[in-house]
Structure 1
Amino acid sequence: MTPTKLDLIIGIKDPQPQRQTPLLGVQMNDAMEFYFNDHLVKANIFIYAGCSQEKYAPNSPFEGNLNSFLASVVSSSSQESYNTYAIGNGSSTPPEATIYGLYQCRGDLQTADCSRCIESAVNQIGLICPYSYGASLQLEACYLRYEHADFLGTPDTSLKFKKCSKSVNNDVEFFRRRDDVLADLQAAIGFKVSSSGLVEGFAQCLGDLSPSDCSSCLGEAVGKLKSLCGSAAAADVFLGQCYARYWASGYYGEFSPDSSHEDDIGKTVAIIVGVLAGLAVLIVLLSFCRKAME
């Protein structure tokens, strides 16, 4: 069951992890080290989610297998940055209870930071996609997905999320540098960081993709960065099995207010959650006051 609708977006703040030096097999300049250190602290920031409209029943065999999957993911993430699962696909399990899933952390993360990010994703996915037969959640530094149908190893270059900043006008040097970075990212195998002048970027494929499939997916991502975000000073594109991101120094985070419909949804839900939290506090205070008067 492929997630077909973004039902809900919730931003949940977690304790900030301690800064650690990323273990990368590439050289990074000072600006890129600042970016990764800053985004290590913000590893649990929500990017996008997808939830299937079909729901499972509470206390069903599917829920039991889902809980087993999520527990396995948390345990595995303390040792591995990527893993896949097929739970309940044996003859003794009802077909409707089968679960296929995976998780992956950003390639620069230390094991402890990967584990923290995955724990946050596990805690959030049930809130964002309650009782969903399929769900995916992308945080800043990790990704979690499960489905009822087997999706593992199936090519998927469909667009899941994009975000474009304000445009850069008539800057030939910027576009030359950007294209150099994107060309380098397109040739990535797994996780890659690249920079040229004041333009930086990184890209990553899912861990089970072959080098040729990874290159093909990143080619699609880079093409969409150029076609969908045009002359943006910073842009993100997430496809089904890979993503690519670039930015000009000083521009990352300065995205246009209308660059993503998902942002509007997120702000709306954040307001609703804030109002509900305020009402809950008010009810508790009124309850205490009533008891005091009695």
Structure 2
Amino acid sequence: MLSSLQLHTTQRIILALRLSYLLIFTFSLPSSHGYPSRSHITIYASCSEEKYQPNTLFESNLNTFLSSVASSSSQVTYNSFAIGNESSTQQEGSVYGLYQCRGDLHPIDCSKCVGRAVNEISLVCPYSLGASLQLEGCYLRYEHSGDFLGKLDTNIRYKKCSKDASSDVEFFRRRDDVLADLQTANGFRVSSSGLVQGFAQCVGDLIVSDCSSCLIDAVGKLKSLCGSAAAADVFLGQCYARYWASGYYDESDSHNNDEVGKSVAIIVGVFGGLAVLVVLLSICKKAAG
């Protein structure tokens, strides 16, 4: 009997360790080369300093919001939500939020990207009253107040200028052609000129004039902050603009994930390790009993 119990316990330990290894391995896989396939990579995250208490109305409504986002993303590429604001007595638990996929993503890829963001945002911003998470292919945000919805915000959230620079006059001409085209976008636009490519997008809750203002600001910041960079990304509060020399993401440091992405993998690995530890302690307790 004791031998059987020990064998059963050993098998459960091995299974738990294998599950932990699989979890950590999945989140540590290197990204694929090529820009379209990088939709899962984390660009930036922003977490409010204010925290909510567990087992509260806000947490319940937040879970409802995240569940609604995951479900909606298989149908449409943008949606916004207001949950728990039906009456004044419940407004302390209100959750407002939205998600949006990059305009060129296939619906299946959009759903996968949003699902990943939903799973990660609580790990990156635990118990935060407000949080936003930008992946390559999608964006997710929630707040306790709905004041941000439809409101123009051109504050910089993230910028990246490549170390590689160009002194080619033709490159600058082509880049400026692309950026001039991008700043006239209404929603999402892809542009190319010669060997330079780029795309830009506004969050879906902006009106046309505010989208235009946001993109003009983003393009201006790309030029002023990144100068002669061969590739550059600027993400503002409600829009972004990006350009790169053709082949840049295949030939440069595309294998180096963003630091936030690495942090997410570490966080998930730690949680996986803690889960295994809990399982092992439970097994040991039962064995001792």
Other-structure match for 1:194: 191
Q: For the pair shown, which has the larger CA radius of gyration, 1 or 2?
A: 2
Distance 1:71 1:43 in 2: 21
Q: Where do 1:97-112 residues align within 5 Å?
A: 97-112=93-108
Find out whether 1:152 has 2:149 as its counterpart: yes
Distance 2:233 2:164 in 1: 14
Are 2:124 and 2:264, in contact at CA under 8 Å, matched by a contact in 1?
no
Q: Where do 1:5-84 residues align within 5 Å?
A: 13=27, 38-84=34-80
1:278 Cα deviation after fit: 8.0
Letter in 2 for 1:197: G
Distance 1:281 1:231 in 2: 49
Give the SS at the match of 1:252.
Answer: helix
What TM-score, normalized by structure 2, do the two folds share? 0.78
Number of aligned residue pairs: 258
Higher relative contact order (CA 8 A, sep 6+): 2
Distance 1:13 1:93, change over 3 A: farther
Distance 1:69 1:283 in 2: 29
Deviates more, 1:109-118 or 1:38-47: 38-47
Other-structure match for 1:247: 244
Other-structure match for 1:27: none
Distance 1:79 1:279 in 2: 35
Other-structure match for 2:222: 225
Identify, as 1 or 2, the structure richer in helix.
2
Distance 1:207 1:265 in 2: 25
1:252 Cα deviation after fit: 2.7
Are 1:74 and 1:118, in contact at CA under 8 Å, matched by a contact in 2?
yes
Are 2:101 and 2:138, in contact at CA under 8 Å, matched by a contact in 1?
yes
Other-structure match for 1:171: 168
Distance 1:234 1:183, change over 3 A: same
1:141 Cα deviation after fit: 0.3
Are 1:14 and 1:44, in contact at CA under 8 Å, matched by a contact in 2?
no
- Identify unmatched segments of 5+ residues in structure 2: 1-24, 284-289
Are 2:151 and 2:206, in contact at CA under 8 Å, matched by a contact in 1?
no
1:229 Cα deviation after fit: 0.6
Are 2:27 and 2:265, in contact at CA under 8 Å, matched by a contact in 1?
no
Are 1:165 and 1:255, in contact at CA under 8 Å, matched by a contact in 2?
no
Q: Deviations over 1:130-152 (max 9, x none)?
A: 11000000001000000001111
Letter in 2 for 1:188: A
Distance 1:187 1:116, change over 3 A: same
Distance 1:57 1:81, change over 3 A: same
Distance 1:279 1:121, change over 3 A: closer
Find out whether 1:207 has 2:235 as its counterpart: no
Distance 1:214 1:164 in 2: 23
Other-structure match for 1:292: none
Identity fraction in percent:
69
Letter in 2 for 1:152: L
Other-structure match for 2:109: 113
- Identify unmatched segments of 5+ residues in structure 1: 1-10, 17-33, 257-261, 289-294
1:42 Cα deviation after fit: 2.5
